[in-house]
Structure 1
């Protein structure tokens, strides 16, 4: 597997409109909407995603790690002692899975498609 790095952080946003407006105003960030309850920056560096769908949102900020081979990354997470908390699924722009590390922190791993 090539170098993996955190390139995205998702935040739960129970008041989606207010949270989106806050980040746009506080930091002059341009956010792209992907449906009525998801928006993100698209700078290509470490981007921020906001999810207003509380059924889909994590309970805390969710670091997201970019990889070149999603299945290989999942196998390595399992082999290292991680627990898969959400199996591989597709979303607009790619596929990902969620896992918990030995300390209980939830992270996601994704591959652009």
Structure 2
């Protein structure tokens, strides 16, 4: 297993963006990041020291950073979250490269778990 794809480890950071072109220009010009577009609503960023992406939103929400953990068995991860008091915020959905779900922890923090399986 690749070191960046270990179960239960933070694997990806997702940030919100009102305008993907503007945010790519800012981070590209300011920090030298590069990007991979996935339609007009999402892009990954590279050369940032951690894997991540920008999701296009209409309004930035408080705590707009989404911490994403990896797990090779999404069903098991979902069961573990629910069994231990987490609430599912967004059911499992597919995207280019895998699938994921989002949850709220007992303190109210929103995180996600994804898999490439």
Pick one of 60, 83, 89 that aligns with 1:85.
Answer: 89
Note the C-alpha offset of 1:29: 1.0
Q: Is residue 100 from structure 1 mapped to residue 104 from structure 2 by the alignment?
A: yes
Q: Is residue 34 from structure 1 mapped to residue 38 from structure 2 by the alignment?
A: yes
Note the C-alpha offset of 1:27: 1.4
Q: Residues 43 and 53 of structure 2 are in contact (CA less than 8 Å); yes or no, is this contact kept in structure 1?
A: yes
TM-score of the pair, normalised by structure 2 = 0.84
Gaps of 5+ in 2: 1-5
Q: For 1:58 and 1:98, how far apart are their aligned partners in 2?
A: 15
Length, aligned pairs only = 110
The CA RMSD over aligned residues, in Å, is 2.0
Q: For 1:32 and 1:3, how far apart are their aligned partners in 2?
A: 25
Structure-1 residue corresponding to 2:79: 75
State the Cα deviation string for residues 54-79 of structure 1 (Å, max 9, x = none).
Answer: 38x86511011011100000000011
TM-score of the pair, normalised by structure 1 = 0.86
Structure-2 residue corresponding to 1:25: 29
